[in-house]
């Protein structure tokens, strides 16, 4: 017969009852109620009261140390957790579980690199990145997707990315560009809980040498203008604006005649078209004025789109007989000759849309004062005479 009177002096929520079985043998039934376990009540039977008290004491000590979560686990689960601790060899079980969930079951759901790249491009289109930047992203993701496109982005590790970049045959600058783009994609994925971390962030970037800018000698400028005047007059406005006003190629190809005010002697580079997103007004110098004055001033594009401008420029370079044409040679030439003529990095920076530090570091002391003065004196009226007088080789020079 069961004695329903519990034993006193036990932890709150725990009780021990003395009972007898069917043959009259006495035993002790322990009950840990909901107030003790925080959940489902538990019962256990003992043949001796001291054993029952000892077991309750251990359960209470465990409850004090770890809370009621202990009572939510089955003995099998507790044993599995103990085995996991041993195998982790000192690493926290919480850390291990967090790592697993982040990589195998990310909070944002599983996404392949290709799926994340597609989502990333949609967001870039919405916020209005420049077309050239968008094209760069698309191109980079196509290349990177050949290796990792079908992989869950949460499963890609730093070690395999380091191996991938180390085994590539890309030039250091190209490798660095791919790293930067991929890091941007992983940061995007991390923000959306598709992966727990950015594995590219701590990969060492290639060390790049500071490449000197390449400029055109005055003889090459004369030859280029001569070729344009003779065979591609439609290229003359953009070419001369680049040479004598220093606009970037992307700014040239977006420029409209409505933004050129010859009466005021200014060119407006709007914020939407400037690389820096900041509007600037560039003065039209006397030499450039003579080149632009005969040209149309009705609204409309000054030149062809970017890819066609590049193709037409390559054709002119070939017709002019220029060897070793430097990268971005038109703009770099303006910067070098303009700085030498005025010796004022702030003035040159304001016209080019750069910082004075860049101007001083890249364009200083590359040409002579005499050549700078000659450069900005070139007009349609004296072009043929200057070409005939020129004796230097028609080539670009990387200073």
> Tens of pLDDT along 329-352?
999 999 999 999 999 999 999 999
Give the pLDDT band (50/70/90) at residue 321: very high
List Cβ neighbours of 211 (8 Å cut-off, separation of 6 or more): none
Q: What is the pLDDT of residue 63?
A: 79
Categorize the per-residue pLDDT at 399 as very low, low, confident or very high, splitting at 50, 70 and 90.
very low
- Same domain membership, residue 259 and residue 123: no
The whole-number pLDDT of residue 393 equals 44
Q: Does residue 274 fall inside a structural domain?
A: yes
Domain's final residue, options 21, 54, 72: 72
Judgement on whether residues 330 and 378 belong to the same structural domain of the protein: yes
Residue 115 has pLDDT above 50, yes or no: yes
Residue 360 lies in a domain: yes
For residue 233, being part of any structural domain is answered with yes
pLDDT digits (tens, 9 = 90+) for 6-54: 555 788 888 888 888 878 888 888 888 888 877 788 888 888 888 888 8
User: Taking all residues of the chain, what is their mean pLDDT, rounded to a whole number?
Assistant: 86
pLDDT value of position 306 = 64
Between residues 9 and 191, the one the model is more confident about: 191
**Which among 129, 160, 191 is the end of a domain?**
191
- Express each pLDDT in 266-302 by its tens digit: 999 998 888 777 899 999 999 999 999 998 777 889 9
The H helix count followed by the E strand count for the chain is: 18, 8
The verdict on residue 80 lying in a domain is: no
Same domain, 318 and 224: yes
CATH code of 185's domain:
1.10.150.130
Give the per-residue pLDDT at 144: 94
Model pLDDT, residue 105: 63
CA dist 252 → 248, 295, 366 (Å): 6, 16, 24
Same domain for 241 and 294, yes or no, is yes
Same domain? 59 vs 132: no
Most confident of 63-67, 73-77, 176-180, 306-310: 176-180
Q: What pLDDT sits at residue 288?
A: 96
In this prediction, what percent of the chain has a pLDDT beyond 90? 49
32 phi and psi, to 5 degrees? -100, 105
Q: Which pLDDT value is given to residue 74?
A: 67
Co-location of 172 and 225 in the same domain: no
Residue 107: what pLDDT?
A: 73
Write out the H or E segment, with its range, that includes residue 261.
Answer: strand 260-261
Res. 103 pLDDT band, cuts 50 70 90 = low
Q: Are 143 and 184 contained in the same domain?
A: yes
Examine the domain organization and report whether 184 and 247 are in the same domain: no
Q: 16 with 56: CB under 8 angstroms?
A: yes
In a domain, 87, yes or no: no
Task: Based on the fold, state whether residues 161 and 221 are members of the same structural domain.
Answer: no
Which CATH number belongs to the domain containing residue 307 in this structure? 1.10.443.10
Pair 16, 30: CB distance under 8 Å: yes
Domains of the chain: total: 3
pLDDT value at residue 398: 39
Full-prediction pTM beyond 0.75?
no
Q: Domain check: are 56 and 118 in the same one? A: no
* 93 occurs within a structural domain: no
pLDDT digits (tens, 9 = 90+) for 122-172: 999 999 888 888 999 999 999 999 999 999 999 899 989 999 998 888 988
**Same structural domain, 67 and 169:** no
Task: Give the residue among 335, 324, 327, 340 at the shortest CA–CA distance from 372.
Answer: 340
Tell me whether residue 207 is in a domain.
no
Give the 3-state secondary structure of residue 259: helix
Domain that holds residue 250: 214-398
Convert the pLDDT of each residue in 347-366 to its tens digit: 999 999 989 998 888 888 88
b (16+ CB within 10 A) / e for 212-249: ebbbbbbbbbbbbbbbbbeeeeebbbbbbbbbbbbbbb
Residue 100 in any domain: the answer is no
Last residue of one domain, picked from the residues 72, 103, 135: 72
Weakest mean pLDDT among 177-181, 272-276, 316-320? 272-276
Give tens-digit pLDDT for 247-270.
Answer: 998 889 889 999 999 999 999 999
Residues 183 and 238 in one domain: no
């Amino acid at each position: 017969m069961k004695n329903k009177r519990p034993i006193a002096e036990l932890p709150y929520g725990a009780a021990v009852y003395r009972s007898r079985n069917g043959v009259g043998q006495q035993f002790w039934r322990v009950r840990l109620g909901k107030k003790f376990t925080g959940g489902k009540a538990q019962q256990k039977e003992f043949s001796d009261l001291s054993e029952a008290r000892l077991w309750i004491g251990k359960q209470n000590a465990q409850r004090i140390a770890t809370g009621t979560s202990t009572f939510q686990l089955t003995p099998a689960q507790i044993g599995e957790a103990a085995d996991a601790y041993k195998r982790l060899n000192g690493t926290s079980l919480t850390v291990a579980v967090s790592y697993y969930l982040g990589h195998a079951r990310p909070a944002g759901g599983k996404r392949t690199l290709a799926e994340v790249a597609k989502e990333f491009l949609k967001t870039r289109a919405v916020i209005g990145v420049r077309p050239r930047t968008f094209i760069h992203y698309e191109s980079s993701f196509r290349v990177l997707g050949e290796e990792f496109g079908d992989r869950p982005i949460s499963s890609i590790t730093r070690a395999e990315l380091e191996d991938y970049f180390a085994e590539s045959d890309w030039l250091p600058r190209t490798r660095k560009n791919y790293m930067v783009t991929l890091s941007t994609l992983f940061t995007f994925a991390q923000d959306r809980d598709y992966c727990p971390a950015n594995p590219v962030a701590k990969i060492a970037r290639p060390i790049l040498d500071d490449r000197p800018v390449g400029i055109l000698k005055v003889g090459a400028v004369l030859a280029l203008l001569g070729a344009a005047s003779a065979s591609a007059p439609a290229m003359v406005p953009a070419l001369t604006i680049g040479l004598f006003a220093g606009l970037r190629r992307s700014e040239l190809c977006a420029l409209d005649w409505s933004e050129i005010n010859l009466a005021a002697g200014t060119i407006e580079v709007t914020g939407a078209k400037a690389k820096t997103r900041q509007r600037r007004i560039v003065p039209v110098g006397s030499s450039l004025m003579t080149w632009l004055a005969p040209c149309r001033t009705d609204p409309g594009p000054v030149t062809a789109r970017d890819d066609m401008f590049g193709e037409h420029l390559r054709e002119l370079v070939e017709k002019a007989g220029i060897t070793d044409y430097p990268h971005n040679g038109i703009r770099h030439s303006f910067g070098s000759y303009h700085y030498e003529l005025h010796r004022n990095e702030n003035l040159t920076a304001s016209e080019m849309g750069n910082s004075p530090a860049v101007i001083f570091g890249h364009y200083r002391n590359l040409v002579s004062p005499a050549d700078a003065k000659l450069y900005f004196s070139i007009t349609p009226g004296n072009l043929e005479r200057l070409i005939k007088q020129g004796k230097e080789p028609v080539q670009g020079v990387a200073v």
